[in-house]
Amino acid sequence: MLTPFDKQRRLQTSKDFLELVGDNIDEICDRIVTVDETWVRQYDPESKQESIQWTKKGERPPKKFKVQKSASKLMATFFWDSEGVLLIDYLTKGTTMNGQYYPNLLAQAREAVVQKRRGKLSRGVLFLQDNASVHTARVSRQALKDMGFSEIDHPPYSPDLAPSDYFLFSNLKKKLRGRRFVDDNQMKMAVESHFDCKEKEYFLGGLKALYTRCEKCISLEGDYIEK
C-alpha cells in the first residue's frame, strides 16, 4: 500500500517529468537511457491464461499439471534507449551486484553510448533508474556525475512508472514463457534474438508511454496505475 507520502512523491515526480518533456517528447526520449535488472530463467512456465487451448464443443480440456519454474536463472541488467538495447550484462553466478560492480557497468554503458549512438553524449544523457540501493549508493551517483549523465527522479515503489518493468521485461518474459532452454547460452541467445528483431519505434513507444503514465498518475492523485 502506498502511504500518503509515497503518493505525493509519485505525484510530484510525474509533474516534474511532464514539465521536463513540455512539447518536446521525441527530443527528451532521444536523450533518455534507462536501466533495470531482472531474473531470466532457463524455464518459466506459461501462465494459466497463456496455456489455454481451444477444444471442440463437448470435449474436456486436457488435464494440466502444475509446472515449477526452473531453479537455473541469471540476473540480467539491461541498459536501453529509444533506439534499442545498448548493453546486457549477465551477473556471473556467485558474484554480487554491489558498489564496485555497478559503477563498472555504468562505465560500460557510457562506452556503448559512445560507440552506438553518435552525438547522444553531446545532447546530454538523461538517466532513468529505480531506487535499488546499488543505484542510489554514493559511489554510483558519483559515477553518473563523472560521466556527465543527468538523473531523472524516480519515485520509490513505482514499477508502473519504470519503462523496463511496464514495457521491456513484461514483453520479453511473455515471449520466453513456456520455452525450455538447455543451458544459459541458449537462453542468452533467445533474449538477444528477441530484441534484435525489434524496430526502433518499438523502444521509442515504450519510453513515450511514460508520459501518458505520468498523466494518469496525476489524475489518480499519485495512486498506482492498473494498466
Instruction: Tell me the whole-structure pTM to 2 decimals.
Output: 0.88
CA 199 vs CA 28, 44, 188: distances in Å? 19, 26, 20
For residue 63, pLDDT beyond 60: no
Closest by alpha carbon to 207, among 10, 14, 23, 31?
31
- pLDDT of 31 strictly over 60: yes
Rounded CA separation 41/179 (Å): 10
CA angle 190, 227, 40 (to 5 degrees): 25
Digit-coded pLDDT (tens) for 80-106:
999 999 999 999 989 999 999 999 999
**Which residue has better confidence, 15 or 59?**
15
Average pLDDT over residues 155-184: 95
Phi, psi values for residue 49, rounded to 5°? -65, -40
Q: What mean pLDDT comes out for the span 196-217?
A: 97
Residue 44: the pLDDT is 75
Burial class for 171, CB neighbours closer than 10 Å (0-12, 13-18, 19+) = middle
Walk me through the domains of the chain, giving residue ranges and CATH numbers.
27-36+71-220 (3.30.420.10)
C-alpha cell recorded at residue 53 = 487451448
